[in-house]
Structure 1
Amino acid sequence: MEAFLVSTGVVALAEIGDKTQLLAFILAARFKKPVPIVLGILCATLVNHGLAGALGTWITSVLNPEVLRWVLGLSFLGMAAWTLIPDKMEDDEAQLGRRLGVFGATFITFFLAEMGDKTQIATIALAANYMAPYLVIAGTTLGMLIADVPAVFVGNKFAARIPMKLVHTMAAAIFAIMGLLVLFKVEQLF
């Protein structure tokens, strides 16, 4: 259960202000059809994070535990630093898939926007760390939905009231703590 809860919390915090959350705002403003947008986000995240979880699980089978510990610890510390760098929405991602309908445009743009994004990298690291890919994938997907679904329904009005710097600092602190716990071989977070 820890894998699910930590994955949900970390990704929900890391996703606030992320480019995919900005993409949710843009899609909501453009299409004004929240249900297919939310379904597109859900499906794209399940596929993307499913692949990331599988990669994280595979990594545990090819690296010895000591090397894996260092890779994971340093990855979490790297994600802590990366989380402090604000994301920008790229016009190409917002324009892609216009002719595919609301669901198709959302699915394609979210899937591509998540490729190599910090939440995808977090899913790989969390799956490798907890060796519970289904719980991690479920948690990271729920974390994405916690951050992105409100963006679809409330739009830019809500975004202006969120203290992004504080949220990013909190997410970075969680990633840093996880990295240090892994590096110093602390077995349980709670």
Structure 2
Amino acid sequence: MDLRAFFTTFGLVFLAELGDKTQLTTMSMAASSGRRWLVFVASALALVLSSLIAVLAGEWLRARVEPVLIERTAGALFVILGGWMLASTFVGET
């Protein structure tokens, strides 16, 4: 097993999920339903399924597109989306 890849992936996904909409929604569902274990299992399964879809899509993409192009496109999308979100904080939505 490639422990470096494992811990890198774990750390990045863990940090990315902290305080995001999914975590806040899960916290809200657990608080309002009073069924914390049901909410935990359902949210964990949802994250596993969405991760599976991402891994399968990434594997499919890797077989068809050069990895450096994928990295550059992903980086550009992060910058564009980050700029869009930053701009939307200064410009009121109508």
TM-score range, shorter chain: 0.7 to 0.9
Deviation at 1:55, TM superposition (A): 0.5
Structure of greater Rg: 2
Identity %: 23
1:77 and 1:14 map into 2 onto residues whose CA distance is 18
Deviation, 1:44, is 1.0
1:37-93 CA-partner distances (Å, limit 9, x unpaired):
111111111111111100000101111x3xx3022134145436757959xxxxxxx
Query: 1: distance between equivalents of 2:74 and 2:58?
Result: 12
Whether contact under 8 Å (1:14, 1:83) holds in the other structure is: no
CA distance 1:81–1:7, shift in 2 (3 Å): farther
1:30 is matched with 32
* More RCO (CA 8 Å, sep 6+): 1
Deviating above 3 A after TM superposition, structure 1's stretches of 4 or more consecutive aligned residues are 76-86
**How many aligned positions are there?**
83
Q: Aligned residue for 2:61?
A: 59
TM-score by length of 1: 0.38
Distance verdict in 2 for CA 1:6–1:12, change over 3 Å: same
CA-atom RMSD in angstroms? 2.4
Q: Which residue of 1 aligns with 2:89?
A: none
Unmatched runs of 5 consecutive residues or more in structure 1 = 87-190
Structure 2, unmatched stretches of 5+, are 87-94
Aligned CA distance change for structure 1 residues 82 and 2 (closer, same or farther; 3 Å): farther
**Which residue identity does 1:60 align to in structure 2?**
R
Partner of 1:44: 46
Map of 2:10 onto structure 1: 8
Q: Using the alignment, how far apart are the partners of 1:26 and 1:46 within structure 2? A: 20
Structure 1: distance between partners of 2:82 and 2:13: 11
